[in-house]
Amino acid sequence: MAARGPTPRTLRLTLQYDGTGLVGWQRQKQGVSVQGLLEAALGRLAGRPVAVAGAGRTDAGVHALGQVAHLDTAVHLPPATLERRLNDALPADINVLSAELTDRRFHARRSAVARSYLYQIARRRTAFGKPFVWWIREPLDIARMREAAEVFAGLHDFRSFTDADPEEKSTRVLIERVQIVERGDLILVRLEGSHFLWKMARRLVGALAAAGRGEIGPADIARWLEVSSGEPARLTAPAAGLFLERVYYPGDERLGEPVPVVNL
């Protein structure tokens, strides 16, 4: 019988990263990406090229608390050892929270049933939170923000809230819930939905902030969901405040109350 190589297996990684100095999740021609760093580190450990697929593409400056990725690998290491070696090989702004063997049919993006994004708005200047918050000087009316948020819930066509993306077939998205809570001088906005289109999370938050400032109302949002508009693009919230918080797979329990990353 011919010698067989090690059985290929699927490894699921959960990771957090500070997106400040990164061009985002996806490998780019220029700049440092999470995918690029992970593939380079795993390639060195495996001694051959390794391809990693992520659950969601995060843009430059966007962070992750629980990005999920998978790889088919023949690396001969127990997952806990791989996790440690991987962290030792990665820069400090990327942190592998867990590495687990999983069902070979598992696909980080295609198996996901929902995503949660967290956005941090700061009501005051802060020396520590700069890369992780959007500081809004004007007073924000939380009740108006919540009123506006309700309009987003449900299955809508979000084409006003995204830019053309050749990888997306449809702009219809199910938004399950938009939560807005206050924690000290922070306003946390949590968006839960089936998936998020390119720039969509930042444009939803931008529209909510405009509602909080009293510049727009629920009727404007309702109209933008009916008829294509360039308005939401002009309201896009900065990348710094945004975190891919959690990717949900079948059977996963939902997170409890949102917790701020920094305390103000």
Residues with a catalytic annotation lie at 59
Distance, in Å, from the CA atom of 41 to the CA atom of 47, rounded to the nearest integer, reads: 10
- Name the 3-class secondary structure at 111: coil
End-to-end CA distance of the chain: 65
Rounded to 10 degrees, the C-alpha dihedral 93/97/100/103 comes to -80
Q: Which stretch binds a copy of itself (CB under 8 A): 99-107, 169-177, 195-203, 254-262?
A: 254-262
Could you give the string, one character per residue 85-124, with x where binding to a copy of itself holds by CB under 8 A and - elsewhere? --x----xxxx-----------------------------
Residue 183 or 223 having the CB closest to a copy of itself: 183
Distance, in Å, from the CA atom of 96 to the CA atom of 90, rounded to the nearest integer, reads: 9
**Pairing assessment for the beta strands 114-122 and 186-193 based on DSSP bridges:** antiparallel
Residue 17 or 196 having the CB closest to a copy of itself: 17
Q: Is 16 in the site for a copy of itself (CB under 8 A)?
A: yes
Count how many Cα atoms sit within 13 Å of the Cα of residue 255 in the half-sphere of its side chain.
20
Q: Which stretch binds a copy of itself (CB under 8 A): 37-45, 73-81, 128-136, 165-173?
A: 128-136
Total residues binding a copy of itself (CB under 8 A)? 21
H or E segment and range at residue 83? helix 79-89
Q: Is 125 in the site for a copy of itself (CB under 8 A)?
A: yes
Nearest approach in angstroms of CB 66 to a copy of itself is 11
Q: Is 10 in the site for a copy of itself (CB under 8 A)?
A: no
Is residue 85 within 8 A of residue 13, CB to CB? The reply is no
Q: Is 220 in the site for a copy of itself (CB under 8 A)?
A: no
Q: Which residues bind a copy of itself (CB under 8 A)?
A: 15-18, 63, 87, 92-95, 125-128, 130, 132, 259-263
